[in-house]
Amino acid sequence: MAFVKAALNYAVAYSQALAQAYPYALYFGKLYNVENDSRYRWVNADTIKIPILSVKGRVNGDRDSIGTAARNYNNTWETKQLTNFRKWSTLVHPLDIDETNAVASIQNITKVFNEEQKFREKDCYLISKLYGDWTAQSKTANSTAITAANILTVIDKMMEDMTEKRVPTQGRILYLTPAMNTYLKSALQRRLTATDDVVRRQIEMLDDVEIVEVPSDCMKTSYTFTEGCEVATKAGQINLFLVHPSAVITPERYNFVNLAEPTALTEGKYYYYEEAYEDVFILNKKADGLAFNITASA
């Protein structure tokens, strides 16, 4: 059969490439690419159900009789419904660009949109949503004023608390602001020759943690998302965010992405449009896999 060149939908190609770009473009990229995102099933367009099993413990056995058999487990469901519905669109007049370069121009526009608006918004939504859901479960953030002298102690306590709750040590990620990272580097530099066993242990425990520096404006407790995202008036500053990715689920579902050719309806302009259902959740049973240090708003 002879080859027939088909018209390409570059909006679809853009959507596919976008999914691979997130881990490299987002500060919280690893949390947007967790195993939980593919582990649980969708029950409809915007709802995920997570199965939860609870079981009884063992009892003493009896070699001389048979006990009564009974079901010793319960099965429940944790439902997560996406509520974060976002959209974006733009018009491009053909006279503004060479017609043969139309797709590249759309790519340039969407590239800037992603890097300067969308990715930052997704980062801010994730951190503030996780913090809000975490505190809604009666969790309280550490509020110790951090300095270079005590930052290792604060992190050590956060790590210890997670270990006490049986959160895996391998795979933890510590997100911190540039100021906190400076304190941490200073503390590590001063203590490289430390002989105190406690200090050495505090330094060694960081070997199991991936450290990611995040701009402070992407580490606030709350934002407004009327257009893009803005720091909320009374938002606190998140200094440290320790998390195990197994505690988080970040389902994302694009409902529509398209680039339309100029028509009468678009008054002769190219029209790009995308919309998405996307959200961020904590698995309720794994809320101990998150910890925060914050500075409250003045």
Domain assignment of residue 253, yes or no? yes
> Which amino acid type is present at position 84?
N
Give the C-alpha separation, 154 to 229, whole Å.
30
Domain assignment of residue 57, yes or no? no
Range of the domain at 24: 10-51+74-295
- Let me know: does 221 contact 235? Beta carbons within 8 Å: yes
Predicted pLDDT at 97: 67
Predicted pLDDT at 66: 83
Tell me the per-residue pLDDT of 157-216, one tens digit each, with 9 for 90 and over.
999 999 999 999 999 999 999 999 999 998 888 766 666 666 666 677 788 899 999 999
This prediction's pTM: 0.84
Domain assignment of residue 209, yes or no? yes
Q: What are phi and psi of 77, to 5 degrees?
A: -125, 135
CA dihedral sign, ordered 228, 233, 234, 240? positive
Predicted pLDDT at 95: 78
Query: Closest Cα partner for 235 from 253, 248, 223?
Result: 223
| Residue segments in the chain with a per-residue pLDDT below the cut of 50 | 3, 100
CA dihedral 223, 225, 230, 235 (to 10 degrees): -10
Domain assignment of residue 45, yes or no? yes
Domain assignment of residue 65, yes or no? no
Q: How many domains does the chain have?
A: 1
Predicted pLDDT at 16: 59
Predicted pLDDT at 113: 85
Angle formed at CA 214 by CA 83 and CA 26, multiple of 5 degrees: 50
Predicted pLDDT at 49: 85
Calculate the alpha carbon distances from 262 to 96, 99, 122, 210, 272 in Å: 13, 11, 31, 48, 11
Q: Identify the CATH number of the domain in which residue 285 sits.
A: 3.90.1690
Domain assignment of residue 220, yes or no? yes
Domain assignment of residue 59, yes or no? no
Domain assignment of residue 67, yes or no? no
- Let me know: does 187 contact 148? Beta carbons within 8 Å: yes
- Let me know: does 23 contact 29? Beta carbons within 8 Å: yes
Give the C-alpha separation, 108 to 125, whole Å.
24
Strand partners, 85: 277
Predicted pLDDT at 230: 96
Give the C-alpha separation, 108 to 265, whole Å.
24
Tell me the per-residue pLDDT of 249-262, one tens digit each, with 9 for 90 and over.
998 877 678 888 88
